[in-house]
């Protein structure tokens, strides 16, 4: 039996991805996390921070290669300009990629931070 270790990125002073890093067209798109976690399969802990002036608005994450909408991490903005924060575990593929989908909104905030991962 192998040991599983959590790699904590510590006290980050900025988000890894921000609004300009995402395409908000309600389409599943690749998100490269390999610069953070390496080109490998790992279980990541991701923090998302969302805010939108329109509702409903949502931002979803899933393991790359999944094709169904049921096993996704999703944050929903249900109150105009009310910040939404959530944490989600997502496994990367062998190259360090996951996928995201952002509804086509005029996002005020759309940010993502990899808090850490298990290896």
* Mean pLDDT rounded to a whole number for the chain: 94
More confident residue, 1 or 12: 12
**Segment 43-85, tens digit of pLDDT:** 999 999 999 999 889 999 999 999 888 889 999 999 999 999 9
Q: For the chain, which domains are there?
A: 6-118 (2.60.120)
SS3 39: coil
Q: Give the per-residue pLDDT at 57.
A: 93
Flag whether the pTM goes above 0.95.
Answer: no
Mean pLDDT of all residues in 100-115: 95
């Amino acid at each position: 039996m192998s040991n599983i270790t959590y790699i904590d990125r510590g006290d980050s002073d900025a988000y890894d991805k921000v609004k300009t890093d995402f395409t908000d067209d309600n389409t599943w798109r690749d998100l490269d996390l390999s610069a953070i976690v390496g080109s490998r399969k790992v279980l990541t802990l991701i923090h998302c921070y969302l805010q939108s002036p329109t509702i409903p608005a949502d931002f979803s994450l899933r393991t790359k290669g999944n094709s169904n909408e049921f096993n996704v991490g999703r944050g929903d903005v249900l109150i105009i300009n009310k910040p939404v924060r959530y944490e989600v575990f997502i496994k990367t593929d062998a190259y360090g990629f996951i996928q995201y989908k952002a509804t086509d909104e005029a996002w005020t905030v759309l940010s993502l931070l990899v808090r850490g991962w298990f290896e």
